[in-house]
Structure 1
């Protein structure tokens, strides 16, 4: 039996003895919450929150797109690397990161499994590697306001939501806490293969331009656009394109 492996969302990953296919506690709880949300909004919300997508970076101000930082950042793509979310150049032909060893954000919305959060918050998850396709939660670091990723244990103490989008179109913008407050921040100490500073993704939680946190670094306001993953397949939860979470099975008992 070929069984896929997805780790990183729940507290533990028990194995079902009869079938060899386990259930990830965190995923199961999140899916249950999400199905209820989808049922409530079935008529007004034709696009399920659990459809997988990439994230493209857009500079909304037309005048800034063609010069300086805007020229570098416009129509780039968000990738995950070293526990953080970064912005990298896009291969125009494939829509994937130009750097071949980079893993693009490839995720979806899922209710965050935390009984102490009331009301429950919609979280955001992404695969962080191709093989096995491990899932982690996206969160905003409480101290730095960087966008990072981790398992449930590493994310639960930070800002994990609520995530959403601006409308029902495929290229709708991502929101957090009901606002598009995302900033690209130039990380001078981290450089790409050409020696240029890399741009990391931050959230301006206090709406003050990262006052006290910017530390002289250059920043730019950006918009994050959803781009749906094509040819999504059915998974063990029985959901297809409208609700595809990309899960094929589990075979571990280890907590992560």
Structure 2
């Protein structure tokens, strides 16, 4: 089991008996110091959903339907799904929308890395790291131990202005939607800038941008997020 220890996202290990072990606490303190160095830009701590934008030229034919959709999390992966024009949330209400923010990734073996986290459920309000699978280039989510061997950052954005603020990975907007089944689109990252040549396996792909939609203060608790200070997440079960 893992749980969030304050804003530093230290992830101490808890044994099956519920006795907390100190492993990871020192790492969390160190990572908090790195986080403080980045905290001058408080807007990176704002919580947001991710809407999908498709360039008209890239979205010819079937891919055009992806414009104006939303990113969701289920089955350990990130998906692109239809969005209600009224609620601006997934049409399938049981699917959890990406609901997260930027924060330092705690790993002493890496240089300072800005990670990306999201809640994966509302009750309990569990939090996972967003990562790119090193073997398949799928966008996935997991606990720290499940993500640490993969590409975990550095994430950023194209602009602080909400209307132009899109997610980047290593300063690159390389996100692709892959149609895994008819009408089911999963999110990938074009790490090698080759259109997923070795990974798409004949499946249709569409270039997409991920637009930040900042969540209002009054909405934060709805998604298991505190407005300020300690995030207050409950225990996150190890996968």
* TM-score computed with the length of structure 1 as normaliser: 0.76
Instruction: Say which SS state the counterpart of residue 217 (structure 2) adopts.
Output: coil
Contact 2:126–2:233 (Cα < 8 Å) also in 1: no
Root mean square deviation of aligned Cα: 2.9
Give CA-to-partner distance per residue, 1:51-110, whole Å, 9 cap, x none. Answer: 10000000123x555x52333100000000000000000001011101010100000001
Distance 1:28 1:229 in 2: 28
Task: Count the aligned residue pairs.
Answer: 220
Distance 1:84 1:228 in 2: 22
The equivalent residue for 1:37 is: 38
Q: Does 1:11 align with 2:11?
A: yes
Give CA-to-partner distance per residue, 1:18-53, whole Å, 9 cap, x none. Answer: xxxxxx9577665543322123xxxxx4x5211100
The equivalent residue for 2:207 is: 221
**What are the equivalent positions in structure 2 for 1:182-197 lying under 5 Å apart?**
182-188=175-181, 196-197=182-183
The equivalent residue for 1:139 is: 131
**Pair 247,71 (structure 1): closer, same or farther in 2 beyond 3 Å:** same
Moved more, 212-221 or 223-232: 223-232
* TM-score computed with the length of structure 2 as normaliser: 0.81
The equivalent residue for 2:20 is: none
The equivalent residue for 1:160 is: 152
Give CA-to-partner distance per residue, 1:116-171, whole Å, 9 cap, x none. Answer: 002x1100000000101100000000010000000000000000000000111113
**Pair 121,217 (structure 1): closer, same or farther in 2 beyond 3 Å:** same
Distance 1:146 1:253 in 2: 22
The equivalent residue for 1:103 is: 96
The equivalent residue for 1:123 is: 115
Instruction: Say which SS state the counterpart of residue 211 (structure 1) adopts.
Output: coil
**Pair 69,31 (structure 1): closer, same or farther in 2 beyond 3 Å:** farther
The structural deviation recorded for 1:232 is: 5.1
Contact 1:173–1:224 (Cα < 8 Å) also in 2: yes
Higher RCO structure, 1 or 2 (CA under 8 Å, sep 6+): 1
The equivalent residue for 1:42 is: none
Contact 1:12–1:254 (Cα < 8 Å) also in 2: no
Give CA-to-partner distance per residue, 1:190-213, whole Å, 9 cap, x none. Answer: xxxxxx430000000000001111
The structural deviation recorded for 1:248 is: 2.9
**Pair 64,116 (structure 1): closer, same or farther in 2 beyond 3 Å:** closer
Distance 1:33 1:90 in 2: 37
* Gapped regions of structure 2 (runs ≥ 5): 15-23
Distance 1:7 1:77 in 2: 26
Q: Does 1:51 align with 2:38?
A: no
